[in-house]
């Protein structure tokens, strides 16, 4: 019988520790499929960050470095500048990338570092149990905004793609969503394009994946996917923010 669907080769056989309904598994799969299809796993160095995906090296088969909170773009810069022909990607959450790592992501983009950033935005800190993230929506409940995020107390959510798209060094910036099959297929194309941008040495690429955190949102998996559609996308519009006409 012909095999028509299987685990990507760039993913290991380890069972994942992510919660039911969490979209990290989908995001990992998309990155691994891109590695398989571009045949780059052996030349790739991944940078794991701090958060639920701290041990993504247990799942990805490529060489990897686990790094301090928020510093993945700096670590990736060190790897890429000393190994310009290798493929380097970071995999970061919203607390990691948009709070403690704000300086690192902005300057990596501004320098046009030829790396790929996979940015998981689920509007909350997952691993430390549901605190407010820079991307937490107004009125969203979290363990550190127990009465809801208020603009006058907690400020406004940061729109990472829109912000980074102002930088000339950024070659390709796109926001996609993982809430249904149609959007996952679109996300797959974006992730693959980001790696191709790097392969062709065109500069900094980032794909923001709107993702779930059912556990800390207090929703079941289906409700969590619906929340992306109903609450997140209206605040975080999907689309290409830089590099739309970039041919790869």
Partner 1 sequence: MGQRLLMKGNEAIAEAAIRAGCFHYFGYPITPQTEIAHYMAKKLPKVGGVFLQAESEIAAVNMVYGAGSTGIRVMTSSSSPGISLKQEGLSYMAGSQVPAVVVNIVRAGPGLGGIQPAQCDYFQACKGGGHGDYRQIVLAPSSVQELYELTVEAFNLADRYRIVVMILGDGILGQMMEVVEFRDKEEIADIEKPWAVTGHGGKRKQNVITSIHLDPAVLEKMNQNLQDKYRLITENECRYELYNSEDAEVFIVAYGTVARIAKSIIEMAKNEGLKVGLIRPITLWPFPQEAFDKVKDRAKAFLTVEMSSGQMIEDVRLAVNGTGPVYFHGRMGGMVPNKFDILAQIKEIYSRHINS
Q: For binding to partner 1 (CB under 8 A), which residues are involved?
A: 12, 41-45, 47-48, 54-55, 57, 61-68, 71, 74-83, 86-87, 103-104, 106-107
**Burial of 150: CB neighbours in 10 Å, binned 0-12, 13-18, 19+:** exposed
Q: How far is the CB of 124 from partner 1 (least distance, A)?
A: 21
Nearest alpha-carbon partner for 212 in 184, 170, 185: 184
Is the CB of 17 or the CB of 185 nearer to partner 1? 17
Q: How far is the CB of 125 from partner 1 (least distance, A)?
A: 17
Torsion of CA 136, 140, 143, 149, to 10 degrees: 80
**What does the alpha-carbon distance between residue 114 and residue 117 come to, in Å, rounded to a whole number?**
10
Nearest alpha-carbon partner for 25 in 136, 172, 184, 159: 184
Q: How far is the CB of 15 from partner 1 (least distance, A)?
A: 16
Angle at 173 (CA atoms; ends 104, 18), nearest 5 degrees: 70
Angle at 17 (CA atoms; ends 233, 209), nearest 5 degrees: 20
Report the chain's C-alpha Rg in angstroms.
17
**Burial of 3: CB neighbours in 10 Å, binned 0-12, 13-18, 19+:** exposed
Is the CB of 102 or the CB of 235 nearer to partner 1? 102
Is the CB of 14 or the CB of 150 nearer to partner 1? 14
Q: How far is the CB of 199 from partner 1 (least distance, A)?
A: 13
Strand pairing partners for 91?
A: 48, 118
Is the CB of 63 or the CB of 231 nearer to partner 1? 63
Q: How far is the CB of 29 from partner 1 (least distance, A)?
A: 18
Is the CB of 18 or the CB of 57 nearer to partner 1? 57
Cα-Cα end-to-end distance for the chain: 35
Q: How far is the CB of 224 from partner 1 (least distance, A)?
A: 26
Is the CB of 76 or the CB of 173 nearer to partner 1? 76
Nearest alpha-carbon partner for 112 in 198, 35, 174: 198
Q: How far is the CB of 75 from partner 1 (least distance, A)?
A: 4
Is the CB of 26 or the CB of 115 nearer to partner 1? 115
């Amino acid at each position: 019988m012909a095999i028509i669907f299987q685990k990507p080769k760039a993913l290991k056989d380890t069972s994942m520790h992510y919660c039911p309904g969490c979209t990290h598994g989908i995001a990992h799969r998309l990155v691994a499929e891109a590695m398989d299809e571009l045949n780059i796993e052996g030349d790739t160095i991944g940078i794991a960050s701090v958060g639920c995906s701290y041990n993504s090296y247990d799942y990805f088969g490529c060489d990897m470095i686990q790094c301090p909170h928020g510093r993945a773009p700096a670590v990736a810069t060190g790897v890429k500048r000393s190994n310009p022909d290798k493929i380097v990607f970071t995999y970061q959450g919203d607390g990691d990338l948009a709070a403690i790592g704000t300086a690192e992501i902005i300057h990596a983009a501004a320098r046009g570092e030829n790396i790929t950033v996979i940015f998981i935005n689920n509007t909350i800190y997952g691993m430390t149990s549901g605190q407010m993230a820079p991307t937490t929506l107004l009125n969203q409940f979290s363990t550190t905004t127990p009465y809801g995020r208020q603009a006058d107390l907690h400020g406004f959510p940061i729109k990472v793609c829109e912000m980074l798209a102002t930088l000339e060094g950024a070659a390709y910036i796109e926001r996609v969503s993982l809430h249904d099959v149609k959007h996952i297929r679109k996300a797959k194309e974006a992730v693959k394009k980001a790696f191709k941008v790097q392969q062709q040495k065109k500069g900094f690429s980032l794909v923001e994946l709107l993702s779930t955190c059912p556990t800390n949102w207090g929703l079941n998996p289906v409700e969590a996917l619906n929340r992306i559609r109903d609450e997140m996308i209206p605040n975080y519009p999907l689309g290409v923010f830089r590099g739309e006409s970039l041919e790869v």
